[in-house]
Amino acid sequence: MMAAENSNEKALSPAVSTAAGRSWPARHPLLFTFLLSAVIVWGIGAVTYIYFYPHLIFNAWERGIVNHGLGTAANPIPPGGIPLNTLYAMPDLASPTANSNLLASGNHDTLYTAGFLDLSKEPEVLHVPDMAGRYYAVQFIDSFWDVFDYVGRRTTGTQAGDFLITGPGWRGTVPAGLTQISSPDNTVMLIGRVLVESDSDLATAYGLSKQIQITPLGHWQPGQ
């Protein structure tokens, strides 16, 4: 009997040893497939979210400003919104009660100028007036929300100037009198700020803000 039992144990031991020696995926193939799929989906989803989220917010701002300006659907500022390749200078200072994301979160020391540029057809020329030492800044933002360039007292001084804003595919010649600003994107958000030194200075600052203008290169003339 003992010999027979030992013989049976030896016969069974290879099967038991084989089952115990299987790797974890081989023993749980469905669970392994599920976990692997979850990791892949999570990885792709995270990368997609990180890449596209700034674009979604940027596009939402573009639609809002083009359609409603610096206001809302119920109170567009200015009425009709701000068309592409057009700048609008706010006549009043921003305030916490302003019904606009830009103005509600803005400072109370500068007048804002804003608009979106479409550079897919041709470059645009930005003109800034002589600010006579006054602080001002015009920033250029691409669809990744990266500020890729500035014009203003800290970077270009306060004298009058003209700047050629070109898209990534433009291969033309920069006309004399223009300083090129190369955009990595054909859609650009432009935000300008002009310092207001006091309540009595508001009208002067607004007059300067209105002179920050955009002109298509095909219609631009030197000294314009």
Q: Would you list the domain boundaries of the chain?
A: 83-219
The predicted pLDDT at position 15 comes to 46
With b for 16 or more beta-carbon neighbours within 10 A and e for fewer, the 122-159 pattern comes to bbbbbbbbebeebbbbbbbbbbeeeeebebbbeebebe
The predicted pLDDT at position 13 comes to 47
| DSSP bridge pairs for 179 | 163
Extract long-range pairs of 219-224: CB within 8 Å, 24+ residues apart.
220/125, 220/162, 220/175, 222/175, 222/176, 222/177, 224/127
Say which residue the tokens 């100037």 belong to: 161
Q: What is the pLDDT of residues 56-97, one digit of tens each?
A: 888 888 998 999 888 878 888 899 999 999 999 999 887 766
The predicted pLDDT at position 101 comes to 55
The pTM for the full model equals 0.75
Compare 218 and 72 and report the one with higher pLDDT: 218
Average pLDDT, the chain: 83
Contact (CB, 8 A) for 67 and 116: no
The predicted model gives 156-175 an average pLDDT of: 95
Q: Which residue, among 174, 176, 177, has the nearest Cα to 160 in the 3D structure?
A: 177
CATH 2.60.40.10 fits 83-219, yes or no: no
The predicted pLDDT at position 215 comes to 97
The predicted pLDDT at position 73 comes to 80
Indicate the burial class of 32 (C-beta count within 10 angstroms; 0-12, 13-18, 19 or more).
middle
**Mean pLDDT comparison of 33-37, 66-70, 180-184, highest-scoring range:** 180-184
Beta strands in the chain (DSSP E): 88-89, 110-118, 124-128, 136-141, 147-152, 161-166, 179-182, 187-195, 213-216
Distance CA 224, CA 219 (A): 10
The answer on pLDDT for 99 being more than 80 is no
Q: What is the pLDDT of residues 108-150, one digit of tens each?
A: 899 999 999 999 999 999 999 999 999 999 999 999 889 999 9
- Range in 7-11, 18-22, 169-173 with the lowest mean pLDDT: 7-11
Compare 195 and 74 and report the one with higher pLDDT: 195
From first CA to last CA, the distance across the chain in angstroms is 113
What sign does the dihedral 193-198-204-207 (CA atoms) show?
A: positive
The predicted pLDDT at position 83 comes to 96
